[in-house]
Chain A
Amino acid sequence: MVVDLYSKKIFNMAYQFAGSFQEAEDLTQDIFVKLYNSLSKYDLARNFTAWLLTLAKNHLIDEYRRTKWEKKQRDDFDDHLPGLASSDDPEGGLLEEENRKILWEGLNKLPADIRMTVILKEIQGKKYEEVAEIMGLPLGTVKSRINRGRLQLAQILRDKKERKNGL
């Protein structure tokens, strides 16, 4: 069933993009309503997962542009995330957790298109070609967006660390 197969994927995509658990639940429902209403338009020659993720991406970006989520605070990183695997190196584990928190907040500072591209490639681990298909963009544009996103996140990490070290 489509809910069992895709609800987790879509919900996580919405949560990573919106940063709010409640918002992600509402968005997931909206996306599934759209899915059921658009099933007649689905081209059987196309990969269903890519088609559904494109539909989800379009809805998330349209809603973002309509409501401007960047003004809203993202959930606290730990609020809804399950406990992470304990590290053998507690100090390294703490650093890793701190980095994740900074990056989670940092995602909000990325423009919507770049944020979505980074989520698909870096968090969901899709290949460049898959991201290009979902985003409906040429491969070169996707690669350049990923580079910009990675650079911005690296700069955010650097700024936070410099501030923390009092530089």
Chain B
Amino acid sequence: MDCEKIQELFSPYLDNDLTLKERTAVDAHLKTCPDCAGLLSLMKTAASSLAAFPEIEPSRELRNKLRAIPGRTKRFRAGLSFFLKPALQPVFAAVTGFLVLFSLYMFNPDKKHINQAISRTFQRGVGQIEKLYAKAGSLTDNLGDYAHSVLISLKKINPLGKSAD
């Protein structure tokens, strides 16, 4: 086996996780290859050094901050849950729609023409309303005349079949 294949077996070799055949092959290679033997020895050194890495105590400030997190997240969630109420969704949709239209208007390079179009539409609307109002007035007059003639007709009717004259 070449060095690369042997080196793939180094970890299981150190962990005693090789078959007898594989172990014998590694041992035989190590006797003839000082590079691999040196690397395996350094691998052992690295493993024992890493295992001896000391643990650090977290600072008191950090522990206090960690203890304060549940309260913080609870307050945040309470605030968030208010804004996530389903009843507010149409309001947010309407506000979003309005803001989109408003921004389209505000940032439109042709703003002047839009203003003129809006003004024209507004004037036309006012004209239509005036016409409608005038029509409604004449309709009321017509209705008044009609009611008057109905009253006169009613007065002329004799319920006993005799003429009023």
Please report A residues at the B interface, Cβ cutoff 8 Å: 1, 3-4, 7-8, 11-12, 15-16, 25, 28-29, 32-33, 36-37, 80-82, 84, 96, 99-100, 103-104, 118, 122-123, 125, 143-144, 146-147, 150-151, 153-155, 157-158
Closest Cβ neighbor of B53 among chain A residues:
A123
Q: Which residues of A contact B55 (CB under 8 A)?
A: 8, 12
With A12-B55, A15-B56, A143-B12 known as contacts, the answer to whether A154 contacts B46 (CB < 8 A) is yes
- Interface pick from B58-66, B85-93, B104-112, B134-142: B58-66
Secondary structure class of chain A's binding surface, majority of residues: helix
Contact B62 A28 (CB under 8 A): yes
With an 8 Å Cβ cutoff, the count of chain B residues facing the other chain is: 33
- Interface pick from B3-11, B22-30, B94-102, B150-158: B3-11
Secondary structure class of chain B's binding surface, majority of residues: helix
Closest Cβ neighbor of A99 among chain B residues:
B49
Contact A155 B39 (CB under 8 A): yes
Contact B57 A151 (CB under 8 A): no
With A8-B58, A25-B59, A29-B62 known as contacts, the answer to whether A118 contacts B10 (CB < 8 A) is no
Q: Which residues of A contact B42 (CB under 8 A)?
A: 154-155, 157-158
Q: Which residues of A contact B12 (CB under 8 A)?
A: 143, 147
Q: Which residues of A contact B10 (CB under 8 A)?
A: 147, 150-151
Q: Which residues of A contact B43 (CB under 8 A)?
A: 150-151, 153-154
* Cα–Cα distance between A111 and B55 once the two chains are bound (Å): 23
Contact B46 A29 (CB under 8 A): no
Judge if B52 is at the interface, Cβ distance under 8 Å. Answer: yes
